Amino acid sequence: MTLSCLVNALIKCEMILSAKDIIAKSKNANTVTYSILLKGLARQEDLSHAMELLDIMKQNSRLVPNLVTYNTLLDAAVSQNQFNLMRKIYNEMIDSDIGVDLISVSTYIKGLFRDEQHVEAMEFFQKIKSEGSVKVDEILYNIVMDGLVRVGKYERAVELFSEMQKENFKPSNVTYSIMVLVIFDS
């Protein structure tokens, strides 16, 4: 616990190298400590070192990467427009025992839209809904509708808004903001 707090404090002070050194020398570093460092590297857009850290974790039976670890990397890949890496990370999650959750799916769909793969994003969204492997919610609908608006697919965004309401998801202020964009942009 103390080590994790120290690493977190060093990262907040932008002293990542010191945090890396302390972890490397510590016998008490665990998955949580490594994930904190990984998140710091991702925040500093140092994705290559974050991926190296993941490899170190995978090679050590005490440092098993978890869903939080992978979701952090997935989000960093999307944020940095590293779409091939995004796909690699997501597929690794699917192929492993880790699996995915709503955060993983939402991040992946957001990445597909950013990569201008709106057809793939919509097919993936429909697949997720039909499989029921992840419980779809209003936030995921918002991500998809926002992606559609950003690529100029206004009619489809409105259709999705109607579908969302038919499925008894209550629109939020974010949902209405997206729909306002439809009105002004189209």
Enter the tokens of residue 40.
Answer: 């710091």
Summarize pLDDT for 18-49 with one digit per residue, the tens.
888 888 788 878 888 888 888 888 888 888 88
Q: Please give the pLDDT value at position 3.
A: 78
Percent of the chain with pLDDT over 90: 54
DSSP state, residue 170 = P
Contacts with 28 (C-beta within 8 Å, 6 or more apart), sequence order: 3
Phi, psi at residue 173, to the nearest 5°?
-60, -35
Q: Is the pLDDT reported for residue 177 higher than 80?
A: yes
What is the Cα–Cα distance from 168 to 164, expressed in whole angstroms? 7
Summarize pLDDT for 122-149 with one digit per residue, the tens.
999 999 999 888 889 999 999 999 999 9
Q: Is the pLDDT reported for residue 160 higher than 70?
A: yes
Average pLDDT, integer, range 97-104: 92
